[in-house]
């Protein structure tokens, strides 16, 4: 039986209340770490229980449903499923992607009180060695892949299950966000990726130490920090869920793009606000 619109709204409200009590605000120390390094680890952004609920649904998406090449892809580096929360109304993804706590955290990371838009969410699962896409994510910046005129875009990368570095937890050239945009590289290109083009970076900005994460922990990274992830060399999948946000004062440059474009109702030179991208924090 299909849910009526009212029933769906009531169901979303209940989950929103649960998430309001579950997700936590960023601390001052975490903000400072992010400003200094371009990334930060936040322990227990969400509870292990909420992460477990999401993991159960992620397993259905990745293991039981075929990749359909529209929102789900088997690539070299992972098996992904796009926009479960943004577009598919699937709880608790729907309410987490719209959580005012996540929105305010993003605004504080962006360092200005502008509206925050959610342009994508995604499961990105590196499979166990020998059992699907497990390859490393080459070093890259995200910013050069977006046709937006200013910085601020960032990603929350949430562990849905405890994971060791060897499963493919992300790493960062700490502080490299201060260099600005360094060029567009394909993240599946090769191990060193962008680093081969800017070798001085490694001398100036150290690679973050190998991290392990507990279910519900996350890393947050700026679109300007150089980052990547090792391949999964273990026999367990890397169950990660990503939410990417952009600053609502950023204008679409008009360059062709699969997310920010005229189909989303955007106009070149105007703020990239569209009904397609939920606004998860209001400007002040």
Residues near ligand AKG (CB under 6 A) are 124, 137, 142, 155, 157, 168, 170, 187, 227, 229, 240, 242
Instruction: Give the nearer residue to ligand AKG in terms of CB position, either 15 or 42.
Output: 42
- Least separation, in Å, of the C-beta of 19 and ligand AKG? 21
Query: Which phi and psi (to 5°) does residue 231 adopt?
Result: -75, 160
d(CA 246, CA 252): 11
15/122 with CB nearer ligand AKG: 122
Whole-number minimum distance, CB 284 to ligand AKG, in Å? 27
Q: Is the Cβ–Cβ distance between 111 and 35 less than 8 Å?
A: yes
- Least distance between ligand AKG and beta carbon 20 (Å): 25
Q: Give the nearer residue to ligand AKG in terms of CB position, either 46 or 226.
A: 226
Residues in the chain: 284
73 touches 188 (CB < 8 A): no
For the bound state, the minimum distance from the C-beta of residue 277 to ligand AKG, rounded and expressed in Å, comes to 17
- Give the whole-angstrom CA distance, residue 19 versus residue 13: 10
Pairing of strands 240-247, 116-125: antiparallel
Nearest of 224, 153, 166, 227 to residue 193 by alpha carbon: 227
Nearest CB to ligand AKG, comparing residues 33 and 140 = 140
Q: Find residue 234's DSSP bridge partners.
A: none
Q: Which of 99/155 has CB closer to ligand AKG?
A: 155
CB of 231 to ligand AKG, least distance (A): 9
């Amino acid at each position: 039986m299909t849910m009526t619109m009212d029933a769906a709204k009531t169901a979303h409200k209940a989950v929103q209340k649960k998430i309001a009590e579950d997700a936590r605000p960023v601390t001052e120390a975490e903000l400072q770490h992010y400003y200094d390094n371009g990334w930060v680890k936040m322990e227990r952004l969400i509870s292990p229980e909420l992460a477990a609920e999401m993991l159960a649904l992620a397993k259905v998406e990745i293991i039981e449903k075929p990749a359909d090449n529209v929102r789900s892809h088997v690539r070299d580096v992972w098996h992904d499923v796009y926009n479960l929360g943004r577009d598919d109304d699937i709880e608790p993804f729907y309410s987490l992607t719209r959580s005012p706590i996540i929105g305010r955290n993003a605004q504080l990371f962006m360092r200005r009180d502008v509206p925050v838009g959610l342009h994508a969410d995604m499961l990105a699962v590196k499979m166990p060695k020998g059992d699907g896409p497990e390859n490393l994510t080459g070093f890259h910046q995200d910013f050069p892949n977006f046709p937006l005129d200013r910085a601020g875009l960032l990603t929350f990368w949430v562990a849905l299950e405890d994971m060791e570095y060897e499963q493919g937890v992300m790493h960062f050239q700490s502080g490299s966000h201060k260099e600005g945009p360094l060029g567009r590289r394909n993240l599946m290109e090769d191990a060193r990726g962008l680093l081969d083009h800017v070798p001085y970076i490694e001398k100036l900005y150290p690679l973050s130490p190998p991290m392990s994460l507990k279910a519900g922990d996350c890393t947050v990274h700026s679109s300007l920090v150089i980052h990547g992830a090792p391949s999964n060399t273990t026999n367990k999948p890397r169950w990660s869920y990503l939410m990417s946000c952009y600053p609502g004062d950023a204008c679409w440059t008009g360059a062709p793009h699969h997310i920010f474009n005229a189909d989303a109702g955007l106009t070149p030179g105007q703020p990239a606000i569209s009904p397609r991208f939920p606004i998860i924090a209001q400007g002040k």
